[in-house]
Amino acid sequence: MAAFALILMGCSGTSYNSQRKAENKLIENYISRNEINVLTEEPAENYVWGEKDYLLIPGYDHLYFHLRQRGDTSIQAIQPQETVVMRYKKFALTENADTISNWTTLDQAYPTEFKYGNSSTCEAAGWHMAVKYMKYHGAECDLICESKWGFDDDQNTVTPYGYILKMKIKR
* pTM (two decimals): 0.83
Distance between CA atoms of 41 and 99, rounded to whole angstroms?
Answer: 28
Assign domain 2-170 to its CATH architecture: Roll (3.10)
Residues of the chain with pLDDT > 90, as a percent, come to 46
The rounded Cα 135 to chain-centroid distance in angstroms is 15
For the chain, the structural domain boundaries read: 2-170
How do residues 116-166 score in pLDDT, each as one tens digit?
A: 988 666 567 888 999 999 999 999 999 999 988 887 666 667 888 888 888
pLDDT of residue 154: 66
